[in-house]
Structure 1
Amino acid sequence: MPVPAVNPFKQKLLRGEPQFGLFCMSLTAQTAEALSSCGFDFLMFDAEHTPTSLPTLYTQALALAASTTQCLVRMPSLDPVLFKPVLDLAIDTVMVPNIRTAEEARAAVRAVRYPPHGIRGVGGSVRATGYGRHADYYAVAADRVCLLLQIESAEGLRNLDAICAVDGVDGLFIGPVDLATDMGHLAQATHPQVVEAALDGVRRIRAAGKAAGILAAEAQAAMYVDAGANVVCLGSDLGVLVRNADALAARWVRAEQAP
């Protein structure tokens, strides 16, 4: 039984279609399943800033399996050992944080590809191979796996053209909060200098023929889409929860407690 060679997220990426989603900071399959019916193109499970685990990611991937919402993971770091179990879970799209140089980009490509083009280890009875049923997985893995690199520093922006030129990189995603901090504007993603740098980065990425992604609040999203961004994280699941819960509480609970 052949394994599909198609990663829907990657196919849309290559066609330049806009895709919208959320970072997922929560750690339950139930939340992932609930969000899978919203209509988002993807959910990006964050393994960099949350205390997640591989069993948690596994249950979250299963929660999305019956939906059209694609499962993405932001890796904790560039450590190649960390990529193997995530990819073996059949999570075909991964994003690597804080890439600063073309050499780091090449290391990320090696981490997601089998020899002779990379160093990914071969797992047999894993979900990606249909638990050993799909012997042809190895031949199509390079086509299925989608690699996004996150640009979060002034150094990364300076080296953007060289990073874009690395074969095997499918898209670059600007992280405006860390970029702002690196530029001296602590956590100020909407600072004019940061916005200008991010917009310039998006345009340069698209001009280089790569997909461009960014984290943007709803108020800024259209501006980045107009600049060429075609992968947009509109916030996070916990951010949506907290904002709406705070607003609800402000309308009812806090109003009742006011003198």
Structure 2
Amino acid sequence: MLKKKLEAGERLVGTVLKTPHYGIVEVLGGTGLDFVMLDAEHAPFSVDQIDTCALAARSVGLPLLVRLVEGTPAAILRVLDMGVAGIVVPNVESAAEAEAIVRATRYGPGGRGFAGTTRAGGFGTVPAGELIERTGDIVVVVQIESPTGVENAGEIAAVPGVDACFVGRADLAVSRELPMNAPEIEAATEAVFEMCKAAGKAPMMFVGDLSECSAWFARGARIITAGSEHKAIQTYFASALTAPAKRRV
């Protein structure tokens, strides 16, 4: 279970899913990745496609996080009822926002509407009490990707129920009109990492390639998304097609 691995302090590696098709999820299930982050924020996933990807992920035992367009209760409810492992919410800027997101993942007053006949509820086979307890297993990731988010990162990370803080370096750089490797972006990243660790939460990072993971783990990251299936395809064929002819199949 992804949540237990996070709580145990394990270093986790996943990738981003951009292609709205369950077959890719099935393939990734045999790679040894710790999780996959389905990118419903920046890729054209319909509700049906998220649902079939969630089903595929469960069939191969691959934890699926869904990055939402926004952290509204309705958006959160829909994907959690599909039985995904957790959510990633972009551009969280305050503890109040984080608290509302966590509340929307839990059953009860002001929270998630209860329905036991969903995939998450075993289509009516999971007792109500057990299903309510299972909401504690949902992984909640908040993205810190604005100057305001960085400023409030300590309070955001301290919110009970937040499991990881995902530093969105690209958006942070764009918001400041700076290159992603600018000293200011490096400093902001380190600051969020330290505040996150101080709150007992996992710092999260995106890297373009698996080769970058070890350096970021050394810097304090605990959960990393490396590239995407798009990047993997591009890298493989670009490398194969530029290799000497005698090495080609």
Provide the TM-score with structure 1 as the length reference. Answer: 0.87
Query: Aligned-pair distance for 1:154?
Result: 1.3
Q: Which runs of 5+ in 1 are unaligned?
A: 1-7, 254-259
Deviations 1:120-173 (A, max 9, x none): 111232101110111234321332212111111111010011111212211111
Letter matched to residue 222 of structure 1: S
Partner residue in 1 for 2:30: 37
Map of 2:49 onto structure 1: 56
- Equivalence for 1:182: 175
Deviates more, 1:197-206 or 1:15-24: 197-206
Counterpart CA distance in 2 for 1:119 and 1:220 is: 38
**Equivalence for 1:257:** none
Q: Which residue of 1 aligns with 2:7?
A: 14
Cα distance between partner residues in 2 of 1:196 and 1:114: 38
**What amino acid maps onto 1:26 in structure 2?**
T
Deviates more, 1:53-62 or 1:189-198: 189-198
What amino acid sits opposite 1:166 in the alignment? V
Tell me if 1:217 matches 2:203: no
Aligned to 2:98: 105
Contact 1:203 1:227 in 2 (8 A): no
Determine if contact 1:22/1:236 at 8 Å carries over to the other structure: yes
**Secondary structure in 1 aligned to 2:140?**
strand
Do structure 1's residue 204 and structure 2's residue 195 form an aligned pair? yes
1:208 deviates by 1.7
| Distance in 2 (alpha carbons) for counterparts of 1:178 and 1:245 | 29
The question of whether the paired residues in 1 share the 8 Å contact of 2:93 and 2:152 is answered with: yes
Residue 133 of structure 1 corresponds to: 125
Q: Which amino acid aligns with 1:151?
A: I
Deviations along 1:166-204, one digit per CA (max 9) or x if unpaired, are 12211111111111111212xx43333322321232122
Distance 1:158 1:102 in 2: 11
Instruction: Indicate whether 1:241 and 2:237 are aligned.
Output: no
> Does structure 1 conserve the Cα–Cα contact (< 8 Å) formed by 2:154 and 2:192?
no
Alignment partner for residue 163 of structure 1, among 136, 148, 156? 156
CA offsets 1:43-102 (integer angstroms, 9 cap, x no match):
000111111022111211222224342111111102211111200011131111110111
Match of 1:145 in 2: 138
2:116 equivalent among 121, 124, 127: 124
Q: Secondary structure at the match of 2:116?
A: coil
The DSSP-based 3-state class of the residue aligned with 1:178 is helix
Give the root-mean-square deviation of aligned CA atoms: 1.8
Which portions of structure 1, spanning 4 or more consecutive aligned residues, are displaced by more than 4 angstroms? none
The total of aligned residue pairs comes to: 243
Choose from 223, 226, 229 the match for 2:221.
229
Q: What amino acid is aligned across from residue 134 of structure 1 in structure 2?
A: V
Amino acid across the alignment from 2:104 = A
**Percent of aligned positions that are identical:** 32
Aligned to 1:86: 79
> Per-residue deviation at 1:252?
7.1
Q: Is the 8 A contact 2:25 2:57 kept in 1?
A: yes
Q: For residues 237 and 190 of structure 1, what CA distance do their matches in structure 2 show?
A: 24
Q: d(CA) in 1 for partners of 2:160 and 2:120?
A: 23
* Distance in 2 separating the partners of 1:150 and 1:203: 15
Check whether the contact 1:202–1:224 (CA below 8 A) recurs between aligned residues: no
What amino acid does structure 2 have at the position aligned with 1:177?
A
